[in-house]
Amino acid sequence: MRLVVQRVSSATVKINGEISGRIGPGLLVLAAVHQHDDMKTLKWAADKMMKLRIFEDEDGKMNRSVTDTGGGILIVSQFTLYGDVRKGTRPSFIESAPPDKAETLYDAFVDYTRSTFKGPVGTGRFAAMMEVELVNDGPVTIIIEKENSPES
């Protein structure tokens, strides 16, 4: 699983002009499922995301998590995060999970986050054409990824 985590002042995702998810301060998370991901991988990624200390404490140091701050999380599926352009200029998505597996694990990622995170969790919709609006805070952007192999 590959997550691009952005600290935001606010974020919104729209589908066909309708708001699907919205948060104030917190994390916008773009999430992609790898072909070798499983439940263990997504739980590891979700736990890491929720504990990621990228919010400032009273001394101005990045020492607090979204859990500590009471912020929200907006999760948007984005298979293109596995786009490989090492050869040529047209991305290859061979490392992305097939759609059925990706949707199942994306939904499980969202469900797990909702069941363990005390704050608001918004989402887009898997495989939908979405418009994502955000106000970066910092900006602070972190990539979370666990090595992907059939043995890991």
CATH superfamily of 2-143: D-tyrosyl-tRNA(Tyr) deacylase (3.50.80.10)
Q: Where are the domains of the chain?
A: 2-143
H or E element in which residue 58 lies: none
Average pLDDT of the residues in 107-135: 97
Q: What are 23-70's pLDDT values in tens digits?
A: 999 999 999 999 999 999 999 999 999 999 999 999 999 999 999 999
Return the structure tokens found at 147: 């090595």
Active-site residues: which are they?
78-80
Please state whether the predicted TM-score (pTM) of the whole model is above 0.75. Answer: yes
> According to the model, what pLDDT value does residue 147 have?
73
Q: What are 85-117's pLDDT values in tens digits?
A: 999 999 999 999 999 999 999 999 999 999 999
> According to the model, what pLDDT value does residue 84 have?
95
Give 150's DSSP letter. Answer: T
Give 137's DSSP letter. Answer: E
Return the structure tokens found at 83: 């786009």
7, pLDDT greater than 80: yes
Tell me if residue 71 falls in helix, strand or coil.
coil
Instruction: Identify the CA nearest to 74 among candidates 17, 127, 113.
Output: 113
> According to the model, what pLDDT value does residue 150 have?
59
